[in-house]
Amino acid sequence: MTATTDGSTGALPPRAASASETNEPLPEVAGTLGTRDAAVRAIRRATDFLLARQDAQGWWKGDLDTNVTMDAEDLLLRQFLGIRDEKTTHAAALFIRGEQREDGTWATFYGGPGELSTTIEAYVALRLAGDAPDEPHMAKASAWIREQGGIAASRVFTRIWLALFGWWKWEDLPELPPELIYFPKWMPLNIYDFGCWARQTIVPLTIVSAERPVRPAPFPLDELHTDASNPRPVRPPAPLTSWSGVFQRLDKGLHRFRKVAPRRLRKAAVNTAARWIIERQENDGCWGGIQPPAVYSIIALHLLGYDLQHPVMREGMASLDRFAVWREDGARMIEACQSPVWDTCLATIALADAGVPADHPQLVKAAEWMLDEQIDRSGDWAVRRPGLPPGGWAFEFHNDNYPDIDDTAEVILALRRVRHPDSERVERAIGRGVRWNLGMQSKNGAWGAFDVDNTSAFPNRLPFCDFGEVIDPPSADVTAHVVEMLAVEGLSHDPRTRRGIEWLLAEQEPDGSWFGRWGVNYVYGTGSVVPALIAAGIPGAHPAIRRAVAWLENAQNDDGGWGEDLRSYRDATEWSGRGTSTASQTGWALLALLAAGESDSKAVERGIEFLAQTQNEDGSWDEPYFTGTGFPWDFSINYHLYRQVFPLTALGRYVHGEPFAEAKGS
């Protein structure tokens, strides 16, 4: 694997040569004069903007905004380890204060409602930074927290952080026994029943749960309880006839087991879990390329005696520093993860579809970097596919254990758009990627993001798992990207591709849209599926395509753009396809309409005009709204590059036509 960031992700690399400086001008294309000319002009500016932001090594990476729990937990980790310093604390507090809303709360996405656990963690972080509880912004936050039920009503992960300092009792948390590491893969609730992100978090937390550490609290948090004399009110259990009731009683049994568990068995389980963690540390020191597993892994290993100078710990802490984005005002934001492979393949597709020549030096450099990032060793996915040779790509700089099915499909689509001088190397890489993606097909014919048939219903029912998705079932957006890639590779009629197509057609919502698992939401799902179906030979006149087109036309805003609020994950009836227009979501809708043959429609013309009119002079678009999804509703993402790559892709296809048109239906 190659390349790593220097931590200064907020700074832009030196400006690269623009398309007009290195190649022939982008061709003018005849058509509806005003709209077409506006699109060509927007393409020129967006192309120059994107080319200028490529790293010298060939990759692109935009900042990845999530919410302030990343920053709060980073400070709590440093407090727990005894290494919190003034500079880091001041910078983190500056960022956290800047994200507080007028009502005193913190939200999990721009424009969203206040969220209890996020507000609690932000409040505690500011207390660590020295903000007094009687300061107006703090008093407003604590009053709201009490109104929502206080700490007792927060999610389990928040109360775990508080238990580390005695602000909550470990015995009042769900039990997570380390013996879980011994469950065979056929047994319910074995660690491979969990999605890879949950698996990487739960294994270290079994050690933390077993050890139950408590560091001296630097201050009390009585102001965050509804009743300081009874901070942990007892709630009646759910009926035994319900799954919640069953698992609540199972948790009580695990608490009793803790008292009688053989010491040798527990010690062995803890040591096995520690080996599992260490074996999965990446070359750059992180775990899975994402921040939460790294944080919990460091805590777990520290509890087992690994000091901060141990190579595993030293590199782990260094990897966390690379998640920091330092801003011009001195604030420090923590990224939950970094997305260079995803950003690079999407940027490559956007530039190629916008008319940048296939042999442009910057596209060749991007292809070279992507080729170097292909993973050539097995990871946890091989537990369910032991005979499948590796060949996928991950999302991040370093994540060899968990290549991403979605990224692999999009990287292949990007490589097909570049004229790399070593064509044999490209063909070998694509061949390995296609084989790996086909091998990761689930039994229902669709694809998840990281694993095969990761669909057990039991992990979601655990009292411990009260936040976000903990399994990785197939989704329409990932399946669509794989189907589109297979179609471009000439495999439209392969039985495996046809099964994917059949699954997608069966998953269409009654209103004509598709659910978006990894992007917000029905606009993303529909914008992914329609181009894939058309690429695979489904005609534009097919009823499923016509229903999708009608849904998109109905969802278009008065300003010509498309937008969808994250609330659609909670209330599809009210919010599906509804929200403030954004550049990225408008791009998704246009990609579907253009693929469906609607290039001359009024809806497309208005969408193109929206993009042209809202573009900044420097070729960029503004987009404070979160259009990326980590966990539907619970964890949302603002990918800063989405607002650049998807509008440019749509504009390019409007002006230059659909890519690989000759391959469709092959």
Q: What is the DSSP string of 496-532?
A: HHHHHHHHHHHH--TTS----SSBSSHHHHHHHHHHH
- Which residues are 114's β-sheet partners? 107
Q: Quick one: which of 145, 167, 174 has its CA closest to 80?
A: 167
Q: Vertex 54, ends 51 and 57: CA angle to 5°?
A: 140
Rounded Cα gap, residues 228 and 221, in angstroms: 9
- Which residues are 582's β-sheet partners? 562
Q: Active site residue: 74, 380, 406, 477, which one?
A: 406
Residues in the chain: 666
Query: For residue 409, what is the DSSP state?
Result: H
**Cα-based distances in Å from 244 to 251, 400, 472, 631:** 10, 36, 21, 21
Query: For residue 301, what is the DSSP state?
Result: H
Known catalytic membership, residue 406:
yes
Which residues, other chains included, contact 10 with Cβ-Cβ below 8 Å and sequence gap of 6+? Answer: 63, 325, 326, 327, 328
| 17 touches 49 (CB < 8 A) | no
- Give me Rg for the CA atoms of the chain: 25
- Chain centroid to Cα 177, Å, comes to 28
**Cα-based distances in Å from 447 to 140, 413, 436, 599, 612:** 46, 17, 12, 30, 35
- Chain centroid to Cα 206, Å, comes to 24
Q: Quick one: which of 315, 293, 291 has its CA closest to 71?
A: 291
The phi and psi torsions of 64 (rounded to 5 degrees) equal -125, 100
Q: Quick one: which of 523, 396, 468, 388 has its CA closest to 195?
A: 468
For residue 40, the SS3 value is helix
Please identify every residue annotated as catalytic.
406
